[in-house]
Structure 1
Amino acid sequence: MAADTGAAGAAELLGHGSPADWVELAKFTRPRAPTPREQHGGLCIWLTDTQISLLGPSAATFHRSVKEVTGTDGLQSAAVVNVTFEPSYETLTFHRICVVRNGQERLIDPRAHAQVFRREPDLERAIYDGRLTANITLPDIRVGDLVDVAFSVSGDHPIVGRHFSREWLFNWGCWVGETRVRLLAPVERRLTMLGWSGAPAAQERLLNGACERVWRSQQTEAVELEPDMPSWVRPYATIRVCDRTAWPEVAALFAPHYSTSGVLPPGLEEDAAGLVGLEPKARAAAALRLVQSALRYQSVSLGEGGFVPRSLADIWVSRSGDCKDASRLLVALLTRLGLTAHPVLVNTWKGWILDQEPASPLSFDHCIVGLTLGAETFWLDPTMAPQAEELDTIYQPRFGWGLPLKTGASLVWMGVGEVVELLHVEEIIGAPRTVADPVELEIRSSYFNWRAEMERRRWDASHAQAERDYVSARRNGYGELELLEPIHLADDRKRNAVRTLERYRAPAPWVASPKGEMAELLLRDGFLDHQLPTPETSQRRWPIDLGRPRRVRHEYVVALPAPLQGAGWDETYEGPSVSARLALTVAPGGREARLLREIEFREPFLAAEQAAAYFRFRAKVLSESGATLRLPVQKGKFVTPPKGLLGNIQTYWGRWLFGIFWVAYILATFFDV
């Protein structure tokens, strides 16, 4: 959504003038022509300068950037200036837009080329933050131009007030000539300062009775990121500065806004009365579903709305709200039902290391509910789609550390959760009479815990679309198969399990040799490969995100076209925080074989020091998870092989087996867990 004010309206919203006296605005001189390695996307970034003053009645931040257009790819980026601000408490003032061409400066009045949009980037998620974007399109920008832009934003959020908390990067995904951060604060202001990943040290001095701190990095090379890093790592050189406080003080700041009087809005009180007679866990689960079912997610984070919930009456009457509103409503309902619950602030990105971060009211981006029943604590998210019936089987979101909003509260550890049985897929393949025959294919999938809830939402949203998605995914693995009957869906909400049954006619999976004497089936493993996606790197610097603790299984059950004999195998592979099992069994008589792949992840993250062991585990498992079967055929029909032939079958596992068959594998992305 975008509302355009036009140039006239923009002039009323945007300030234009000289920077404040405390700002240092030095003339920039291009040091030399940029080298090829200093150019990225048609630009060379010469300077990023950020200056902050905490000396006035509200925080003020000055930003300046100087970039050179080195190629046509950089023209669009250099010619468009976008600055976002919240007009209810922030003021945006432009100080300088200067284009330097062949040593000649051309000053541009931003008000003559500005439009202000109310842009909601998360509109499709029903999130409205009320921020405006000042969009300035600079005329006549050419390759070789230097574009120098400077502006200031001032103002404090009405809820957190004067509490300051910022984080700055000192290297980037491209070469940068200089990154500078300058902070002015009263000498007596107690600040916490932390640095990561080789961040520069501050240079401090007294300046006109204030403390000036300057951090600077120069000629920084592009940072190369590693795959599958946890969201909480800081791979870039980073400095964080915030006012010194404690977590109980943060809880005390927000808790009053979530208080409940014990009186529920009309209508909700009647619903609550019907739950009173249930036992505590059933009462809590029913209350959770009631709120999840009643509220439509909508976040209006205008002004105070970004940090505090609305009144219970407004939430219930509108039947809508964000995480703060839903959590406040659920806590009020649980309290009315005689249960102990509190809102809990969490950080979905950095919650796992929140105990290592300085306390700050700006440390959170989500709110859930902590429910205490005896010695157990349950973590409930009322913004999720309606969950299963049993409190013990629902998915509980865990984000590392959370802050309960109650008197004297500090951070609490939410735990990593137990290893859950998440997915079991069984593919039953019929035996063809000839090499060219299609086969009957039956696929039975069982989803549990959060995967069950994902599948439930998929099928509830559109049964027809879900079925089309299933068939499309199977065709990516098997080719143009035919769905023989509608997919059967069974939903066991008590166990939080969703089961599907699919029946197809699949194209012939066997391939005859050029001479027609043998038929070959190649077993390729896309299942374990998808569970172990992180490629090996020689010297891993950062932890590996393994995903939530889980166990997944994939099993082929194949009716063999010719009798085979063999003992098979059953082997377990151990790695750091992960184990796998590969097993092959052949039924007596040799007419059925089962191939099992199972993997278990016990922790969500793996330390960088364990990466080498993990990569060895990964390489071993993936190298031993495929096989080739060759069976003799006569005139296109399978025949019982001579005993001596069975010893000539070599598998991808590097062992000699009596026999195995090909099963076309399922598209790995279909089982994204």
Structure 2
Amino acid sequence: MLDGQLRIAPVVVALFALLISGAAEAGGFHKGDAPAWAEDLPIPAEIPAQRKQSPDGIYFLLSDDQIAWQGADKLSYSRTVTKVIERAGLERAAAISSDFAPEFEDLTLVRLNVIRDGKIIAWRDKLKEDIFRRETRLESGIIDGTLTVFLQLPDLKVGDAVDVIWLHRSAPVIKGAGQAVYEYLDYRVPVAETRVVVHWPNGVPLHVAALPSRIEHVATPETGGLRLEWRLLNAMPNKLEDNTPVENDPDAALRISAEADWTRFSSLLAEYYQADYPLPPEWLARLDALKSQPAEKAAITALRMVQDDIRYVSLSVGAGGIYARPPNEVITSGFGDCKDKALLYRVMLHHLGIDAAVALTDVDRGYALENELPQPSVFDHAIVQVKLKGKTYWADATGSYEGGDFTTGAQPDYGFALPLRVKGQAFLEPLPVTPERNSTFITETFRFTFIGVFLDVQAEYRHDAANWKRQEFAVKPAQEIGDGYFDYYRGHYRGLRMTQTITMQDDRDRNIFTTHEVYFMSRAALAEPDLLTDFRFGAEDFTSNLPGTLDGERKLPMAVGGAKNTRFITRVVNGPIEFNPPAPVHLHNPGFQFNFNGTATPGGNMELVWSFRRTGKTVPAKDVAAVIRDDKLAENNISWSWDLSRRTDDQ
């Protein structure tokens, strides 16, 4: 569903929000038997090596998912067998829960057994369940209506195994979208046996994404279709290397779809998202006033209307997780989520005569979307594709405190998106982002006088950096922000004091945000021996997000971070010594560019200039060692100390 995907551990539950007090009132929860097509696997034997590596006092013996369709409804039979191996696992293993969306799902508890010393203790019909409405993302403004069925096992002991089976029946939210499956085969804990069985109907096209060769696979014809089985035995968790990109996640996930491309899916949703919708008279009047402006200016002003005037709240209950609320309703209520805002903005642009389409993406896993097969569960966010004068732009209507236009404002950095157009969009489109989209320019000036040292710091933030800084000053008092900067400088220069509260200027139209700080250190404070003889001039650590070391040969690519372009200048005026700057440094690799250059003139003047620019978002595995090596070189060339007590040109 849009506005967030949730992957729930089967034995973990957070009990907060609304208690619905009993199954009878929930309507979508039942206790019943397994369907005839479901197979009951024997419980695998323990594997000592896995048991030793199992965390939290629980060992997963079996994860078995079996999927079939009854008409358009999808039936998902999920069985988990866990064994309590330490006292630490009792609370977690005894808390039995599963989620369902009552608007289009039914949930049945098929089995709840405890196996102790080879004997089965059946608890399904003896325990009373509680049903909670747990809005786990309420603080983020998301209400999805998900219900959690919760049961607490009594008298659980170390050595017991818990055997639980749930059956979900899900009606399609998007009518006609076709069958699809997304199931994990790897987990972050050892599992003795993982299996997924899919009963695929005859006459439905079958497309399966590639899986690692370690996954066993069998396909067998059966009445009415094809039985597909994937099995993984004795699985240990994959080792995640630091900064592994989402698109290179080594965990195996089964992806099946009836669709070879996105045409059907996008056209079905486009019927809703490309339809025309009325707008309130007052908003139409505001839009009509924009028609005399250039199209780009009008489009940006309309975007700011949606961003600034409609607060973020997501009512993603049932079909509301896929389909936006009508724009009239969004405007009247004054709130909306990503799809509500995206549709509203698209309708406003249509009124202005500007071509636009709502587009689906994923906030955290957008760069992995090109690996996915068509199905709605891979998206959790909606943005807008705007076409102006032969150029394509992307806008996120949920943004806040953004400035600039389509060239200086924020371009969403989500990797890929699927525009919803009536004729159907077959393929995802990339969202281009350059390092200049996040630019910071900082200049420090140390001015030495007979009474002490004045430190003047001026910073200029452009594009995304300006948006982030603008938001920071909107939600925090300037004094708090200034105190944070002061703490940074005071950590290097003991005795420094702030002479005025940090000031800022915001040119939102050009999307340039500037700050100004002024500090002073008295001559007496400067004379402290450990400061005077070890006085630092340096920049920020540009690559602090990268791993510090490389353990063995890198197997996966490495993410180096999003767009970043920084220039840092330190100027020294009338210093007490003649300076000899360090030698220039120039580093260029698949991850970043780093340059340093220093100059000095007589009279104690020096200028140190650093520049940093990310040259790619990810680095191939073969180049990771070189990038980390350059990272260390850059780290060793971002600051130096001088002995200001020596009247020589030595450092």
Name the TM-score, length of structure 2 as normaliser. Answer: 0.90
User: Is 1:460 aligned with 2:474?
Assistant: yes
d(CA) in 2 for partners of 1:492, 1:524: 29
User: Is 1:521 aligned with 2:535?
Assistant: yes
1:640 pairs with one of 626, 635, 647: 647
Answer whether contact 2:113 2:124 (CA < 8 A) is retained: no
1:424 alignment partner in structure 2: 441
Closer, same or farther: CA 190–477 of 1 in aligned 2, 3 Å: farther
Give the partner amino acid of 2:620: A
Closer, same or farther: CA 124–532 of 1 in aligned 2, 3 Å: same
Answer whether contact 2:144 2:317 (CA < 8 A) is retained: yes
Give the partner amino acid of 1:610: D
2:12 alignment partner in structure 1: none
1:376 pairs with one of 391, 397, 400: 391
User: Is 1:594 aligned with 2:607?
Assistant: yes
Residue pairs, 1:352-431, within 5 angstroms: 352-408=367-423, 409-411=425-427, 413-420=429-436, 422-431=439-448
2:5 alignment partner in structure 1: none
Answer whether contact 2:31 2:110 (CA < 8 A) is retained: yes
Superposed displacement of residue 268, structure 1: 0.5
d(CA) in 2 for partners of 1:370, 1:117: 39
d(CA) in 1 for partners of 2:582, 2:38: 75
1:668 alignment partner in structure 2: none
How many residues end up aligned between the 2 structures?
631
Name the TM-score, length of structure 1 as normaliser. Answer: 0.87
Give the partner amino acid of 2:442: V
The DSSP-based 3-state class of the residue aligned with 1:333 is helix
Superposed displacement of residue 67, structure 1: 1.1
Superposed displacement of residue 543, structure 1: 1.9
Answer whether contact 2:131 2:147 (CA < 8 A) is retained: yes
d(CA) in 1 for partners of 2:370, 2:48: 46
Superposed displacement of residue 334, structure 1: 1.3
Q: Deviations over 1:150-181 (max 9, x none)?
A: 11111223324563322222232222111011
Answer whether contact 1:69 1:75 (CA < 8 A) is retained: yes
Give the partner amino acid of 1:398: D
d(CA) in 2 for partners of 1:185, 1:627: 66
User: Is 1:80 aligned with 2:95?
Assistant: yes
The DSSP-based 3-state class of the residue aligned with 2:367 is helix
Q: Deviations over 1:437-464 (max 9, x none)?
A: 9743322221111111011111122434
d(CA) in 1 for partners of 2:638, 2:453: 23
1:607 alignment partner in structure 2: 620
Range with bigger deviation, 329-338 or 341-350: 341-350
2:352 pairs with one of 330, 337, 359: 337
2:81 pairs with one of 66, 75, 83: 66
Answer whether contact 2:180 2:256 (CA < 8 A) is retained: yes
Closer, same or farther: CA 164–588 of 1 in aligned 2, 3 Å: farther
1:307 alignment partner in structure 2: 322
User: Is 1:487 aligned with 2:502?
Assistant: yes
Closer, same or farther: CA 260–189 of 1 in aligned 2, 3 Å: closer
The DSSP-based 3-state class of the residue aligned with 2:18 is coil
Residue pairs, 1:547-586, within 5 angstroms: 547-559=561-573, 561-566=575-580, 568-586=582-600
1:241 alignment partner in structure 2: 256
Give the partner amino acid of 2:105: E
d(CA) in 1 for partners of 2:449, 2:213: 63
Answer whether contact 2:361 2:416 (CA < 8 A) is retained: yes
d(CA) in 2 for partners of 1:252, 1:466: 48
Closer, same or farther: CA 267–535 of 1 in aligned 2, 3 Å: farther
User: Is 1:174 aligned with 2:181?
Assistant: no
d(CA) in 2 for partners of 1:402, 1:344: 6
Closer, same or farther: CA 426–113 of 1 in aligned 2, 3 Å: farther
Superposed displacement of residue 133, structure 1: 0.9
Closer, same or farther: CA 229–533 of 1 in aligned 2, 3 Å: same
The DSSP-based 3-state class of the residue aligned with 1:202 is strand
Q: Deviations over 1:277-301 (max 9, x none)?
A: 1112211111111111111111111
Superposed displacement of residue 630, structure 1: 3.1
Closer, same or farther: CA 510–241 of 1 in aligned 2, 3 Å: farther
User: Is 1:51 aligned with 2:66?
Assistant: yes
Answer whether contact 1:178 1:218 (CA < 8 A) is retained: yes
1:635 alignment partner in structure 2: none
Superposed displacement of residue 37, structure 1: 2.7
Superposed displacement of residue 412, structure 1: 5.1
The DSSP-based 3-state class of the residue aligned with 1:267 is helix
Residue pairs, 1:110-509, within 5 angstroms: 112-160=127-175, 163-198=178-213, 200-261=215-276, 263-408=278-423, 409-411=425-427, 413-420=429-436, 422-431=439-448, 439-464=453-478, 465-475=480-490, 481-505=496-520, 508=525
d(CA) in 1 for partners of 2:470, 2:238: 41
d(CA) in 2 for partners of 1:596, 1:385: 33
Q: Deviations over 1:604-644 (max 9, x none)?
A: 2222232233223223322344434234xxxxxx3524xxx
d(CA) in 1 for partners of 2:361, 2:23: 42
Give the partner amino acid of 2:529: A
2:559 alignment partner in structure 1: 545
Answer whether contact 1:99 1:107 (CA < 8 A) is retained: yes
d(CA) in 2 for partners of 1:506, 1:160: 70
d(CA) in 1 for partners of 2:184, 2:526: 54
Range with bigger deviation, 575-584 or 239-248: 239-248
The DSSP-based 3-state class of the residue aligned with 1:484 is strand
Closer, same or farther: CA 62–478 of 1 in aligned 2, 3 Å: farther
Closer, same or farther: CA 39–345 of 1 in aligned 2, 3 Å: closer
Give the partner amino acid of 2:104: Y
Answer whether contact 2:50 2:191 (CA < 8 A) is retained: no
Range with bigger deviation, 200-209 or 114-123: 200-209
Answer whether contact 1:50 1:64 (CA < 8 A) is retained: yes
Answer whether contact 1:568 1:584 (CA < 8 A) is retained: yes
Q: Deviations over 1:487-545 (max 9, x none)?
A: 111111232111111123459577637xx9x8233567652342545643422222222
Closer, same or farther: CA 451–604 of 1 in aligned 2, 3 Å: same
The DSSP-based 3-state class of the residue aligned with 1:98 is strand
Answer whether contact 2:447 2:573 (CA < 8 A) is retained: yes
Give the partner amino acid of 2:647: T
Closer, same or farther: CA 71–480 of 1 in aligned 2, 3 Å: farther
Closer, same or farther: CA 196–425 of 1 in aligned 2, 3 Å: farther
d(CA) in 1 for partners of 2:404, 2:587: 36
Give the partner amino acid of 1:410: A
Superposed displacement of residue 206, structure 1: 2.2
d(CA) in 2 for partners of 1:175, 1:506: 58
1:654 alignment partner in structure 2: none
d(CA) in 2 for partners of 1:480, 1:47: 63
